[in-house]
Amino acid sequence: MKKILVKSRISEFVVGLVFGLGLIVSGMTDPGKVLGFLDLAGLWDPSLAFVMGGAIAVGLFAFAFAKKRTTSFLGGAMHLPTSRDIDRRLVVGSLVFGAGWGLAGFCPGPAIVSAGAGQPKAIVFVLAMLAGMWLFEIAEGRMRRTPNQQTGAL
């Protein structure tokens, strides 16, 4: 049991590292590049469509395979999302996220990686993001009537 735990921690760390490197190589950690993609009416930089394309091309196979499994390769449970609701929460939340993304050109992953590089504005962004997530927790704590309604997986 202990051995699985150590292997899992190493795996999670390595995955975080590979993901962070992917964000840097792809250009996602450059807000100028992200905004260049989001600026359809200006000089448009289509690069980020290639990022999504490359990621999903690999992901399609992995998730098709993962769906058939009941345990992970390291022996743990599969924690796949169960929620299928397309509700106001999902849409409004995503719209608010997109507005913030378009404002500074940072989404959560690249902001954390850039904070790791010591970028002062990325550090401030991450702190503000944590504050936003904390506000959500407070609001949810008050609203929560039925426990375990959150999948928390995404």
Partner 1 sequence: MLIDWTHFTPWSALAGGVLLGLASALFVLLNGRILGVSGIVGGLLRPRAGDTGWRLAFVLGMLVAPGVYWLFAGATAPRIDAGWSAVMAAGLLVGVGTRYGSGCTSGHGVCGLSRLSPRSLVATLAFMGAGFLTVFLVRHVLGCCHTTHGAWT
Near partner 1 by CB under 8 A: residue from 2, 3, 46, 148: 46
Cα distances (angstroms) measured from residue 61 to each of 17, 49, 74, 80: 21, 19, 19, 16
Min separation Cβ 85 and partner 1, Å: 7
Q: Does residue 53 touch partner 1 according to CB under 8 A?
A: yes
Q: Which of 2, 150, 4 is nearest to 72 (CA)?
A: 4
Tokens of 34: 């992200």
| Distance from chain centroid for Cα 20 | 11
Q: List binders of partner 1 among 73-132 (CB under 8 A).
A: 73-74, 76-81, 83-86, 89-109, 111-117, 119, 121-122, 124-132
Query: Site size for partner 1, by CB under 8 A?
Result: 122
Min separation Cβ 142 and partner 1, Å: 14
